[in-house]
Amino acid sequence: MSNSNRLRIAIQKSGRLSKDCQALLKQLGVKLNLREQRLIAHSTNMPIDVLRVRDDDIPGLVMDGVCDLGIVGENVLEEAQAERLRNEQCAEVNKLAKLDFGFCRLALAWPQELGQQDKDWFNGKRIATTYPEILKQYLKRENIDASVVMLTGSVEVAPRAGLADAICDLVSTGATLEANGLMQGDTILESNACLIQNAALTDQSKLALIDKLMPRLKGVKQAKE
Ligand code: PRP
Ligand code: ZN
Ligand code: MG
């Protein structure tokens, strides 16, 4: 559906995945002129445009065919898919590869001073998160009756600010939890970055270009093992 004949790839503009995404494109031989403030970077040696956007926007851009490919955390993808399915919208993408960066887990956490807690403790509590759909599925699965407070950022300060009793957020190194006096509980989802493709892509020249890039991607992954 993308109106350009250049392959459009969505990556995170700034955040945990941006550096690795840029490095990956470079290893795939895609030469880019990445100027700091530009939304779109045109490749100088392949018919490829790279869009730099908020990670949360990437699944939707690929599902709707605005971009042909996207690199995004599985956590963000799963949340977006669950939300779309709930609204009966198209949530289909082809997952082309799991990438070997962006490892993190979505985990529950609560103020350290409360000490170790089990699942029952969450009944009647408020949990702040950026991943309401994934959290609600977990709560349902585990039979926990807690309310979900949606925050798009600074989730880790919610307990201290009195906005929630606990949080459900991404943990990578654990530094954020530590700095905010939070204790880590159950992991709800393990995640890493993945490469997704618009499921309705039929443009032959774009598909041929993807076919050319995929073996290179395998090569890059093997070289790191
Ligand atoms: C996540 C999470 C924490 C941080 C945890 O944010 O919300 O802020 O990473 O990492 P740590 O355990 O290494 O301290 P992310 O980088 O995904 O950015 P975003 O919340 O702005 O999307
Ligand atoms: Zn984000
Ligand atoms: Mg964050």
For residue 177, the CA-to-ligand 1 centroid distance in Å is 10
Residues 210 and 180 in one domain: no
Residues 139 and 73 in one domain: no
**58 lies in the same domain as 113:** no
> Ligand 1: which atom is nearest the Cα of residue 54?
22
Are 199 and 98 within one domain?
Answer: yes
Residue of minimum CA distance from atom 9 in ligand 1: 170
> Same domain, yes or no, for 44 and 151?
no
Residues 67, 41 share a domain = yes
Model confidence over 13-47: pLDDT tens digits?
Answer: 999 999 999 999 999 999 998 776 789 999 999 99
ipTM of the complex: 0.92
Strand partners, 167: 109, 128
- Please tell me if the CB atom of residue 109 comes closer than 6 angstroms to any atom of ligand 1: no
* Co-location of 198 and 96 in the same domain: yes
Q: Indicate if 175 and 196 belong to the same structural domain.
A: no
Closest C-alpha among 28, 31, 69 to residue 51: 69
CATH of the domain at 46: 3.40.190.10
**Is the beta carbon of 16 within 6 A of some atom in ligand 1?**
yes
Q: Say if 2 falls within a structural domain.
A: no
Q: Domain range holding 70? A: 7-102+192-224
Q: Is residue 1 part of a domain?
A: no
Instruction: Give me ligand 3 centre to Cα 13, in Å.
Output: 14
Structure token digits, residue 22: 């840029």
pLDDT in tens, 41-82: 999 999 999 999 999 999 999 999 999 999 999 999 999 999
CB 158 near ligand 1, within 6 Å: no
Residue type, 91: A
Whether 14 and 94 share a structural domain: yes
Residues 16 and 90 in one domain: yes
* pTM for the model: 0.93
The maximal CA–CA distance of the chain, rounded, in angstroms, is 59
